[in-house]
Amino acid sequence: MPLESEVDLPGEALLPGALPEALRAELVAFRRDLHMHPELGNQEFRTTAAIKERLERAGLEPRVLAVGTGLVCDIGEPDGGTPVLALRADIDGLPIPDTKTECAYRSTVPDRAHACGHDVHTTVVLGAGLVLAELNRQGLLPRPVRLIFQPAEEVLPGGAADAIDCGVLEGVGRMIAVHCDPRVDAGRIGLREGAITSACDRLEVALDGPGGHTARPHLTTDLVTAAARVVTDVPALVGRRVDTRAGLAVTWGRIESGHAPNVIPQHAELSATVRCLDIDAWRQAPDIVVAAIDEVANLHRAKSEINYIRGVPPVVNDSGATALLRDAMTARRGPDSVEGTEQSLGGEDFSWYLQHVPGAMARLGVRTPGERTVRDLHQGDFDADESAITVGVELFTAAALLDAAER
């Protein structure tokens, strides 16, 4: 696979690793195949097999993770002393229907969709691996690089923890990733030093009490009213028990209770996410949230059973790794291709890796320049401008070369 000539930008060093047109077309086709066949977390067997086959065809030796899906693959031979740069992709889809109506590569699996861009992330890391493998054959890769294709990012607390248990971080000194951002134009990335995502936990609440006739609510535990007060009062209470700058927020997504208009039910169920911008407040969140729910439930004579499910801490971008991504993108596309980005309230299990090694995540622009409609993540009509694949591959290959030069 001969590579195109180096990218030569004014004032920047020459960097090999630009994509040949044939590889660009192959990667688009690979992404579309993944998009048509999304698989849920820990069920990504077809996806894992497709990645493995292509890496092996390039002469590499990928290893399927012990959990059964996902892979790790080294390019070059780690010497045990020199820290390796790791490139991470997540490979799972979402349990929602693909609602795109005029799309030749829409999902063929009912109620499954790649609506978060993981098919793009996977293709970017695969493409970077193919380019870096060719550079390694040519003697142009100064240091080994590790590819990590992680399963189950969408399954709390995230497949990253399983990947870490499988040893993917052994010998890794720095780690980088991208996440699709439909608010950023293709050809650009968004960067932020420090926290770039929020912590995200899940909350399941059951309320119980003696029901009765709606004519005599004073003789019952009025569970519908109790559930309604939990929904409205708990977020307000939580917001007053931590510094407001921590951004600790409870947002309800499900409430179920009752079957008839004249019967006060005996049981109610509620589900929510708990998001937090600050890691210290996140550590306190379970105690704060549980206490607030109990207080409101007790006020209405309801018995509460609370399942607080720990999710992920914020992704906190290391300054050095953020600078590496900025320098790599500047080398490929010029300084105007990098923009600042805000801290998102979305959660990402890439954060678990960064509890062990420094690293950073960039927001990869996937909006077609000039397009006014923003197709948001986790929506059935989400799609990406596929030119972003080339951008991501060249970003990662430049980062691998610059990382070796820096260290």
pLDDT in tens, 273-330: 999 999 899 999 999 999 999 999 999 999 999 999 999 999 999 999 999 999 999 9
Whether residue 8 has pLDDT greater than 70: no
Please tell me the predicted confidence (pLDDT) of residue 407: 64
| Phi/psi of residue 39, nearest 5 degrees | -130, 145
3-class DSSP assignment, residue 291: helix
Both tokens assigned to 319: 């300054």
Sign of CA dihedral 284, 288, 289, 290: positive
Residue 34 has pLDDT above 70, yes or no: yes
Enumerate the β-bridge partners of residue 256: 269
If one counts every other C-beta atom within 10 angstroms of the C-beta of residue 199, the result is 28
Collapsing DSSP states into helix, strand and coil, what is residue 299? helix
Q: How far apart are CA 129 and CA 123, in angstroms?
A: 10
> Does the pLDDT at position 142 exceed 60?
yes
Spell out a b/e string for 220-231, using b for 16 or more CB atoms within 10 Å of the CB, else e.
bbbbbebbbbbb
Name the burial class of residue 197, with classes exposed (0-12), middle (13-18) and buried (19+) by CB atoms within 10 angstroms of its CB: buried
Span 38-50, average pLDDT: 98
User: What pTM value is reported for the model?
Assistant: 0.90
